[in-house]
Each structure stands twice: as C-alpha cells, then as structure tokens.
Amino acid sequence: MCIYERIAMLGIVGAAMIGFVNPGNTAVRWLGLGAWGASAYKGLLLALEHVDYQFNPSPFKTCDLFVKFPDWAPLNEWAPWMFEAYGDCSKVVWEFLTLSMPQWLVIIFAGNLLALAIIVLSQFTKPKH
C-alpha cells in the first residue's frame, strides 16, 4: 500500500508540473487540476484502505505481497529503492504525534482535495482589477 500511496503523491507532483508549464492556458490549468484531483482522490482511497488493514487486521483481508505495475511501467524494476515493497501493510512501523503514516496520508490527501475544491471554485470568480 505504501508504494501505491507514494505513486499517488508523485501524481500530485506531476499534476503541479503540468499546471506550472503554462498556468495562463485554461486547458493546461484544468488538466493539471484534474490530475491533482485524480491523484489526491486515489491516494485518499488507498490510505483509507491501508488504515483499515492496520486497525482491523485479518488473515482474509491483506495487501498484495508484491507490487503490481503495468508491463509498460515496471517502476519496481526501474527504481527498486523507491518502488519495491518490503513490509506488511497491517504493521504500524512509523508514528508521529500518535498517528501512523497511513493516517497522516489520509489527512494529507483530504487536505489536498479541500485545497483543490477551493482552487476550482476560485476559477469561477472574476479577478478584481
């Protein structure tokens, strides 16, 4: 799960790069906002599932033992130091302020969706000159 959540974070970075290319261009801006929303939403779903694995462990409900990437993008082969899975999703191996890493990711991805909603709404207001 950590690997897929990491990819969702990289998706947010990629969305920012898209928008940074030409924020004045409406199509590019909306493409970046759409990619941001898709990445943050998928990341939130993954983080919520990961939290469920940690706080409701079950031998019948576990994460994948090996990451699954499409044949055209075997990220775990290209950068195993970043994309190879080494742990058990149900174990809490890192905490900060009493929250596990997936719990923090829920907050981060939800915060991204909230920021996105504010920015999307701002796209429909006229700037004051």
Q: pLDDT at position 116, please?
A: 95
Angle, vertex CA 10, rays to CA 7 and CA 15, nearest 5 = 125
Among residues 118, 83, 103, 116, the alpha carbon closest in space to that of 12 is found at 116
DSSP-derived letter for residue 128 is P
**Segment 39-66, tens digit of pLDDT:** 999 999 999 988 888 888 777 777 777 7
Report H helices in 1-129. Answer: 2-21, 26-55, 75-78, 80-83, 101-122
Which DSSP string corresponds to 4-20?
HHHHHHHHHHHHHHHHH
Residue 88: pLDDT above 80? no
pLDDT at 25: 86
* CA gap 74, 83 in Å, rounded: 9
Q: Is the model's pTM score more than 0.85?
A: no
Query: How much is the average pLDDT of 79-83?
Result: 76
Q: What is the pLDDT of residue 13?
A: 93
Q: Report pLDDT for 16.
A: 92
